[in-house]
Structure 1
Amino acid sequence: MSDQTSGGFDYEAPAKRHTPKTEFAVYFAIIFAACLPLACLTWALSLLKNGTANGRGPIKRAWSQANIITPMIFAA
């Protein structure tokens, strides 16, 4: 067997792969577009039920959901 502890070889770990920002933005846009109709429906039902438009609007809700879901995809 050969001696693997001799230190004659400097191993450099491969560079960590960074996900491009454009890919994140594309996924975010797709998820935002998918969440927007549901957020509008939820907001409208809440408006009908409560009679007031208090709280976050549909765009803010969809943005928040997309902001939660998209990083989960890239974390895997």
Structure 2
Amino acid sequence: MTMNINVPTERHARSRDDSRWEFNLYFTLIFLFAVPFATVDWLKHVKRRRTLNLRGPLARAWAEADRITPVIFSA
């Protein structure tokens, strides 16, 4: 015997959109906060290795935001 539960899909879609909006807000804030630190770190690596063949500061900040934001939402 299977039990079917009818739940309005509009309610779930709206909550999913709300959480996506919140995720994007947090991601943006973390990214903007990480840019100066990633720039300093990138400049130190450029000076130490004497090459520009490294991931740039924006790629580093993006990676940090991409790593940290899901951790916040999994808690």
**How much has 1:25 moved relative to structure 2?**
0.6
Structure 2 gaps of 5+ residues are none
DSSP 3-state at the match of 2:55: coil
Report the equivalent of 1:62. 61
Using the size of structure 1 for normalisation, the TM-score is 0.73
Structure 1 gaps of 5+ residues are 1-9
Between structure 1 and structure 2, the one with the greater Rg is 1
Runs of 4+ deviating beyond 6 Å: 14-17
Task: Please give the alpha-carbon distance, in whole angstroms, between the structure 1 residues aligned to 2:49 and 2:74.
Answer: 38
**How much has 1:42 moved relative to structure 2?**
0.5
**How much has 1:55 moved relative to structure 2?**
2.0
Percent identity of paired positions between Structure 1 and Structure 2: 37
Alignment of 1:32 with 2:31, yes or no, is yes
Using the size of structure 2 for normalisation, the TM-score is 0.74
DSSP 3-state at the match of 1:54: coil
DSSP 3-state at the match of 1:20: helix
Task: Please give the alpha-carbon distance, in whole angstroms, between the structure 2 residues aligned to 1:38 and 1:53.
Answer: 18
More helix as a share of residues? 2
Task: Calculate the aligned-residue CA RMSD, in Å.
Answer: 2.1
**How much has 1:49 moved relative to structure 2?**
1.1
**How much has 1:24 moved relative to structure 2?**
0.5
